[in-house]
Amino acid sequence: MSMQDFLCGDTIKVRWINSGVTPTTLIAATYTGSETMVDSAAMVSSGDGHYYHLHTISNTPGYYVAQTLATIGGKPYKNRTAYRAVLMDVN
């Protein structure tokens, strides 16, 4: 599995796409490697089954997991993506 690096302080767009059904609940959350939640919000619909959440990368370098949790027909659906927050030195 490949892992993306993002610069500390950057903003990324967490996406969830399902044009076939509308979820009753759709949440985006981000956790540290030790499972501490650092961000959580309801996702925003941009139409046609596309949802997003703008997440600002932590200023603390390390490993994180961005997760979406949808509830469809009373059942939970998860999608998790690991990433690494890094500091970039300018010489």
Q: Per residue in 41-89, pLDDT tens?
A: 999 999 888 999 999 999 999 999 999 999 998 999 999 999 999 998 7
Q: What pLDDT sits at residue 88?
A: 80
User: Each residue of 21-30: b (16+ CB within 10 Å) or e?
Assistant: eebeebbbbb
pTM of the model: 0.85
29-48: average pLDDT: 93
Q: How far is Cα 72 from Cα 13, in angstroms, rounded to an integer? A: 22
- For 58, the 3-state DSSP assignment is coil
d(CA 49, CA 21): 7
Q: Taking a C-beta distance cutoff of 8 angstroms, is the pair 81, 29 a contact?
A: no
